[in-house]
Amino acid sequence: MTEMSSRLSGPASHTVTARSVWPKPINTLINALINFLTRPRRLAPLLACAWMILIAGFAFAPHWFTAYDPLEGDVLASLAAPDAEHFLGTDKLGRDVFARIVYGARFSLGVGLGAVAISVAFGVLLGLIAGQRQRVLDEGFSRLFDVVSAYPGVLLAMLLITFLGGSLVNVAIAVGIAGIPKFGRVVRAQTKAVQDADYVVQASIYGRSRFSAFLVHVVPNVLTVVPVVATISVGTAILTTSGLSFLGLGPQPPTPEWGLMLAESRDYLRTAWWTGVLPGIAITLTVIAFAVLGGSLQRHIEGRAP
Amino acid sequence: MTSTRAMITKRIAPRLLTGLLVAWGAVTAAFIGMHALPGRVEDILAGDMSWPGLREAIAQEWGLDQSVWSQYVGFIWRIAQGDFGTSYVMRQPVADVIGPQIWPTVHLALSAGILAVVLAVLAATLTAGRGRIARAAASLIELACVSAPVFWIGLLLLLAFSFTLRWFPVSGADGWRALVLPAVTLALPTAGLLAQVLREAMEKALVQPFVVTTRARGIGETLLRLRHVLRHAALPAVTLGGWLVGGLLGGAVITEKVFGRPGLGTVTLNAVLSQDAPVVLAVVMLAALIHVLASTALDVAYVFIDPRLKVQ
Amino acid sequence: MYARSNSTDRSGHHKLSEQLTARRLMLLAGIAGAGMSLLAAQPAAANETPRSGGTLTFGVTTEPVCFDPHRSVQQNSYIIIRNYVDSLVAKNADGRFLPWLAKSFQKSADGKTYDFILRDDVVFHDGEKFDAAAVKTNFDHARDAKNAVPAGELLQSIEQIEAVAPHHLRLHLQQPDTALLESIASVRLGLLSPKALQAGAQLCGGGPALAGTGPFRFAGYTRGQSVALERNAAYNWGPGYAKHNGPAYLEKATIRFLPEYSVRAGALSSGQIDVIEGVQPTDVGQFKDQPGFQFLTGPSGAQTAFTLNINNTIEPATDVRVRQALRDGADIEALVKSVYRGTVRRAWSNIGPDNPLYNKALEGSWGLNVAKANQLLDEAGWTGRDAQGYRTKDGKRLGIEVGYPQPFVRDSRDVLIQGVQAQLRKNLGFDLKLRIITGGEWGQQLREGTWTIYPNTYLPADPVRELEGNIGRTGFIRAVSDKGDKELFGHIESALRATTADDKLKHVHAAQKRAVDQAVIVPLFAASYQLAARDKVRGLSFEAQLDSPSNLYDVWVAP
């Protein structure tokens, strides 16, 4: 981490520069973003961006993409194979599969983003506190992270959902809580590293109060590690949600959430493949896109981009 | 290893102690959670049925009529003595319920873990630093494995290799043939992630001076990669170890359900859904202990792989 | 009084005339059995001789949490349990009671004393002798509140159990109980070895310790995977409706737990297992009339139709117009046809259409009428509309939640409710929410009377009990029954107290009509059990008392 943070705080002058009203690390991040958006050199991030723009379109203006209602269908025409009318076919209740995928973007992205927002908010806060030179706080919060991550995989989310009840919001909360330690640990390590960095020590020598030095130098620097992890985590959260749906602990029908669609379609795998294969592809592509973007972002922040 | 003893006292013992603390915290949190759930155990056990005195009798039988606090103290006391109590729903000692389920899950997770490591090492050594197309293709496949829902992979594999080609049985836990599809299902996401991390680490290692000097000695490329570069790249991969243990165990819940295999996953899911607190708490306890042991083992493994850490 | 005799029966308890009656009854039972085979569309078996030996694998949906008949409250566990426990009496498809472990039985004139003459040649799997004392031990154990045995509810009317002679059991009742024989015939009061009962709680875990008298022994249980059953070679005491005497044909049977629809169907179609239950309606075409396979449908009479029970004490369901709109706002006929692909019938009452107490007059008396339903809602003041198109009144959306307990979700029933949900939304602007809840939450809602709509089928011993347990004063609404429908309660209670069959029928019909008219229930479909199997499997049938497949006693596998 020390290695990485010194690289972070170093100059990134090879990029287009933003106006330097921001603290230096944030500046670096913004530059990286601008650089990434204006001069992408690789195909993968470009494709990922294109997919993200498409599903963002689905999420914000689903009615532009389909004329069908995702909740209404003609039951008498259920499980119809793809044809001119329903080009991705219909599901068990005769609802248009494409319409459900389009409208589902809002729910799936919503769950993913919501969960990550919760993880980030609490993870960063607790991580910053744990990263202070207060042994008791550090131990306390570090052990708290340990306790949370002692529940393997979906077990914690499972327990939380039995407690909260299955709904879209509760799934986001459960998945979000399970993700707190991931951010907490990263932020804690980064805080510790940055606090000992020369320029922070110097700042306090030059008479800045500890708190103001913390705010100006430590916090922004620490936050640069968050976007990468967060981006990748959105995808992971969408995956976890689909797993919960499979276990019957996810969002409730008739929500057109992709994971739920996929879980519901498994009974028709042999007779109506289109009800499951397509939401599955939508999930997979979205998770890939988030991973590619996260990786790309990381390379740009680290200044390794071509 | 002159400092083995020092290592035990300085590194392992404190970690195990805090680990116990963590396990206690996890179990206590689960205890509070189970007790705060809506609905009483006696209602669940009685189902739709009711006759005078039934619910009271059930409550009394399980000590549910005592205060939460004394239930908690009793529970911790029993755990400390190695007694996990009796399942409310299955009416058998929790140890008898969970005990026989440990091996099937470990067997599956272990097979999947080994398969994942083999696949990842193969993919990484074959493609690291090679042509763009090979790397891009490998990356895409790995990403797809990481990004597809586990149960979906499992069902697609079943559809192809069991229902259609009939190479493997649909379900069950007898013989290696029944293990293939579940192990592959569980291994793929892990292998994908591991391969990516390994490749990146290997590519970093491949440009290091030691590689140039080793090459200069005329060593074959394959041997170089397997013997020298891979070892160098192992550290970041080992960092993932803790995550992998959790991921494999968590993924086992879903894989077992898809393939109808016995194991901890099925037991856990049923216990959570039926609010069978004694079983849930025992599973949490077990998971926490595994987590503690795994992370301690990793800590020790770092020291062996990277001797610089020993100085600290 | 029914009796049955066979070659091994050397008991002196009954006379020649009884034996003659018994033969005639056996004949009748045979005819009834044949009728059932027709219904079940089993391949013609007339000229085939059953083959002894062989094994069979049966793929089931649910792994029981408990294998003890007295303790299990899971409907899906009984088809497994029936293989290793027998009952005193057997219920035939036509509703009559036939001998089983009791070779004859008699009710006293005042209906308060029942005498059972037991077979004297029966042994439990663990070698214990079956006699009146063993039955008394079973029933007393179940009745004793301190044992907290759920099946005890079936014996609440009993005052005392007396072992008059080694093979003569007498039950003394507090008051007449028309459902007593139903209860005694129930798998839930199947008989276990007294020695096994002493092991108590451990019986839930199955295994050889769970010793009954059934045609199969419980050889082993692998949690999460399967149950192994082994033929009981000594067996010679099948139920009155059985098609043969002596031991079961199958040497071994494996019950495999396969919770996924597609996995079960895939395992059958790829020849890895022999029989499955819980066939996905869309998969039926793969087995029905297909070479190499058979598809069987059981009767739909013993259990209630799958019904939405509406709690009429909670707003907005307190308004009968809202309930009637809910009842008539969706095309249930089309939904059932679409979701189940014609494999089950739409229901008109919550009592199944094959049940003798079914009120046939209700057919066509209610159902799809969108114009009327909308008019009712307008009259009830739900005239506003919100952004999503739902009706509102005073700013509140017209909606009721269906809380479906997760342990009971099966058989595409949630899909059907989603279909109703979609139609009510489209036709009426009615928000029928569906939420899958835990068993615990349902327990709490039941205790507090806060549930809003509870979808269920119910398998009691007797239709009147069924009505009482569902929609009677002590039914789901019991916590708030003071605000319930008094007239409905009255009909059910009169039926419970009825002493003549006609009187009972009259009140049961009235109760069904009242429930549907007042729309406190919306019956959806008449559940019936379905099996798919390889065509080589013979002798599959359905047990009336369970409304599920019979045990594997008569089943054999053709070469």
Residue B86 has φ and ψ, to the nearest 5°, of -120, 140
Give the amino acid at B91: R
Mean pLDDT of chain C: 84
How many whole angstroms from its chain centre is CA C536?
A: 27
Across A212-221, B70-79, C392-401, the highest mean pLDDT is recorded for: C392-401
Half-sphere exposure of A69 (CA within 13 A, CB side): 12
pLDDT at res. A7:
34
Residue C439: strand, helix, or coil: helix
Task: Note whether A152 contacts B30, CB cutoff 8 Å.
Answer: no
Q: Across chain A, which distance is largest between two alpha carbons, in Å?
A: 77
Residue among A252, A271, A272 whose CB faces C435 most closely: A252
| Closest by Cα among A259, A5, A226 to A124 | A226
C268 vs C277: CA distance, rounded Å: 10
Angle at A19 between CA A13 and CA A23, to 5 degrees: 80
Task: Note whether A92 contacts C339, CB cutoff 8 Å.
Answer: yes
Instruction: Kindly list the partner chains of chain C, i.e. chains with 3 or more CB atom pairs below 8 Å.
Output: A, B
pLDDT at res. C191:
95
A259 vs A279: CA distance, rounded Å: 8
- Residue identified by tokens 């059995």 is C33
Q: What percent of chain B has pLDDT over 70?
A: 89
3-state helix, strand, coil in chain C (%, to 5): 35, 20, 45
Q: Which two tokens stand for residue A194?
A: 């940055």
Are C353 and C345 in contact, with CB atoms under 8 Å apart?
yes
Residues with Cβ < 8 Å from C31, sequence gap 6 or more?
Answer: none
pLDDT at res. A8:
35
Task: Note whether C152 contacts B44, CB cutoff 8 Å.
Answer: no
Residues with Cβ < 8 Å from C225, sequence gap 6 or more?
Answer: B172, B173, B260, B261, B262, C256, C257
Which chain A residues are Cβ-neighbours of B29 within 8 angstroms? 147
Q: What's the pLDDT band for C205 if we cut at 50, 70, 90?
A: confident
C290 touches chain A (CB under 8 A): no
How many whole angstroms from its chain centre is CA A271?
A: 34
C-chain residue closest to A159, CA distance: C438
C406 touches chain A (CB under 8 A): yes
Inform me whether the pLDDT recorded for B15 exceeds 60.
Answer: yes
pLDDT tens by residue, B135-161: 778 888 888 888 999 889 998 888 888
Task: Count Cβ atoms within 10 A of the Cβ of residue C34 and give its class: 0-12 exposed, 13-18 middle, 19 or more buried.
Answer: middle
Question: C102-107 and C113-118: which strand pairing?
Answer: antiparallel
Which residue blocks in C397-535 are alpha helix, DSSP H? Answer: 413-428, 439-448, 463-471, 486-497, 501-517
- Helices B241-259 + B150-157 axis angle, to 10: 50
A220 touches chain C (CB under 8 A): no
Instruction: Go through chain B and tell me how many residues it has.
Output: 312
pLDDT at res. B143:
87
Comparing B229 with C502, the larger pLDDT belongs to C502
C334 touches chain A (CB under 8 A): yes
Q: Which domains does chain B possess?
A: 1-89+274-312 (no CATH), 101-273 (1.10.3720.10)
Which chain C residues are Cβ-neighbours of B90 within 8 angstroms? 65-66, 204-205
Q: What's the pLDDT band for B300 if we cut at 50, 70, 90?
A: confident
A-chain residue closest to C269, CA distance: A270
Inform me whether the pLDDT recorded for C30 exceeds 50.
Answer: no
A93 touches chain B (CB under 8 A): no
pLDDT at res. C382:
94
Task: Note whether A162 contacts B246, CB cutoff 8 Å.
Answer: no
Q: Across chain B, which distance is largest between two alpha carbons, in Å?
A: 88
C538 vs C92: CA distance, rounded Å: 20
Counting one residue from chain A and one from chain B, the pairs whose CB atoms sit within 8 A come to 126
Residue among A152, A248, A263 whose CB faces B287 most closely: A152
pLDDT at res. B66:
80
Our CA-based measurement puts residue C100 at a distance from the nearest CA of chain B, in whole angstroms, of 27
Task: Note whether A72 contacts C261, CB cutoff 8 Å.
Answer: no
Which chain C residues are Cβ-neighbours of B100 within 8 angstroms? 223
B273 vs A159: CA distance, rounded Å: 9
Q: C409: alpha, beta or left, given left = phi > 0 and alpha = psi -120 to 50?
A: beta
Task: Note whether C150 contacts B163, CB cutoff 8 Å.
Answer: no
Task: Note whether B149 contacts A269, CB cutoff 8 Å.
Answer: no
Q: Tens of pLDDT along chain A (306 residues)? A: 333 333 333 333 343 444 444 556 666 666 666 665 555 557 778 888 889 999 999 999 888 888 888 887 777 777 888 888 888 888 888 888 899 999 999 999 999 999 999 999 999 999 988 888 778 888 888 888 888 887 876 788 888 888 787 788 989 999 999 899 989 988 888 888 887 776 666 776 676 676 777 777 778 878 888 888 888 889 989 999 988 888 888 888 788 888 888 888 888 877 888 888 888 999 999 999 998 888 888 877 776 544
Averaged pLDDT, B188-195: 88
Inform me whether the pLDDT recorded for C391 exceeds 80.
Answer: yes
Q: Which two tokens stand for residue C127?
A: 């070698």
Task: Note whether C66 contacts B263, CB cutoff 8 Å.
Answer: no
Residues with Cβ < 8 Å from B14, sequence gap 6 or more?
Answer: none
Which chain C residues are Cβ-neighbours of B91 within 8 angstroms? 66, 68, 71, 201-205
C151 vs C549: CA distance, rounded Å: 21
Half-sphere exposure of B10 (CA within 13 A, CB side): 10
Q: What's the pLDDT band for C25 if we cut at 50, 70, 90?
A: very low
Across A12-26, A75-89, C298-312, C522-536, the highest mean pLDDT is recorded for: C522-536
Which chain B residues are Cβ-neighbours of A44 within 8 angstroms? 136, 139
| Closest by Cα among C250, C285, C261 to C62 | C261
C162 vs A290: CA distance, rounded Å: 74
pLDDT at res. C3:
36
pLDDT at res. C509:
94
Task: Note whether B92 contacts C458, CB cutoff 8 Å.
Answer: no
Our CA-based measurement puts residue A81 at a distance from the nearest CA of chain C, in whole angstroms, of 13
Fill in the DSSP letter of residue C130.
P
Q: What's the pLDDT band for C392 if we cut at 50, 70, 90?
A: very high
Q: What pTM was computed for the model?
A: 0.80
Angle at C57 between CA C54 and CA C62, to 5 degrees: 155
Which chain C residues are Cβ-neighbours of B274 within 8 angstroms? 65, 407, 439
Our CA-based measurement puts residue B57 at a distance from the nearest CA of chain C, in whole angstroms, of 5
Residue among C224, C270, C407 whose CB faces B261 most closely: C224
Give the amino acid at A96: D
pLDDT tens by residue, C451-473: 999 998 876 667 787 888 888 88
> Residues 161-180, chain A: which have Cβ within 8 Å of B?
162-163
Inform me whether the pLDDT recorded for C487 exceeds 90.
Answer: yes
**CA dist C513 → C369, C489, C510 (Å):** 18, 12, 5
Give the amino acid at B206: L
Q: What's the pLDDT band for C267 if we cut at 50, 70, 90?
A: confident
B106 vs B109: CA distance, rounded Å: 5
Return the minimum-mean-pLDDT range out of B41-45, C317-321, C414-418, C494-498.
B41-45
Q: B175: alpha, beta or left, given left = phi > 0 and alpha = psi -120 to 50?
A: left
Comparing C111 with C114, the larger pLDDT belongs to C114
Return the minimum-mean-pLDDT range out of B195-204, C297-306, C313-322.
C297-306
Inform me whether the pLDDT recorded for B198 exceeds 90.
Answer: no
Are C344 and C528 in contact, with CB atoms under 8 Å apart?
yes
Angle at C318 between CA C316 and CA C322, to 5 degrees: 60
pLDDT tens by residue, C424-438: 998 999 999 988 887
Q: Which two tokens stand for residue C396?
A: 């509140």
Return the minimum-mean-pLDDT range out of A42-56, C41-55, C118-132.
C41-55
A243 touches chain B (CB under 8 A): yes
Instruction: Kindly list the partner chains of chain A, i.e. chains with 3 or more CB atom pairs below 8 Å.
Output: B, C
Question: In a mutagenesis test of the C interface, which of A91, A93, A167 is the best target, namely the one with the most C β-carbons within 10 Å?
Answer: A93
Comparing C233 with A224, the larger pLDDT belongs to C233
Our CA-based measurement puts residue C393 at a distance from the nearest CA of chain B, in whole angstroms, of 31
Instruction: Go through chain C and tell me how many residues it has.
Output: 559
pLDDT at res. A34:
64
Q: What's the pLDDT band for B51 if we cut at 50, 70, 90?
A: low
Are C377 and C322 in contact, with CB atoms under 8 Å apart?
yes
| Closest by Cα among C139, C103, C128 to C118 | C103
pLDDT at res. A213:
72
Task: Count Cβ atoms within 10 A of the Cβ of residue B88 and give its class: 0-12 exposed, 13-18 middle, 19 or more buried.
Answer: buried
Q: B259: alpha, beta or left, given left = phi > 0 and alpha = psi -120 to 50?
A: alpha
Q: Which two tokens stand for residue A38?
A: 């204006």
| Closest by Cα among C45, C54, C87 to C70 | C87
B152 touches chain A (CB under 8 A): yes
Are C179 and C97 in contact, with CB atoms under 8 Å apart?
no
pLDDT at res. B44:
72
Angle at C81 between CA C77 and CA C82, to 5 degrees: 120
Are C349 and C305 in contact, with CB atoms under 8 Å apart?
yes
Task: Note whether B18 contacts A143, CB cutoff 8 Å.
Answer: yes
Residue C157: strand, helix, or coil: coil
Which chain A residues are Cβ-neighbours of B152 within 8 angstroms? 242, 262, 276, 280, 283
Question: C275-277 and C55-60: which strand pairing?
Answer: parallel
pLDDT at res. B60:
79
What are the residues facing C113 on neighbouring strands? C172
Question: In a mutagenesis test of the C interface, which of B55, B91, B259 is the best target, namely the one with the most C β-carbons within 10 Å?
Answer: B91
Are C34 and C289 in contact, with CB atoms under 8 Å apart?
no
A123 vs A112: CA distance, rounded Å: 16
| Residue environment code for C311-325, b if the CB has 16+ CB neighbours within 10 A, otherwise e | bbbbebbebbbbbbb
A147 touches chain B (CB under 8 A): yes
Task: Note whether C282 contacts A76, CB cutoff 8 Å.
Answer: no
Residues with Cβ < 8 Å from C113, sequence gap 6 or more?
Answer: C107, C170, C171, C172, C173
Task: Note whether C223 contacts B54, CB cutoff 8 Å.
Answer: no
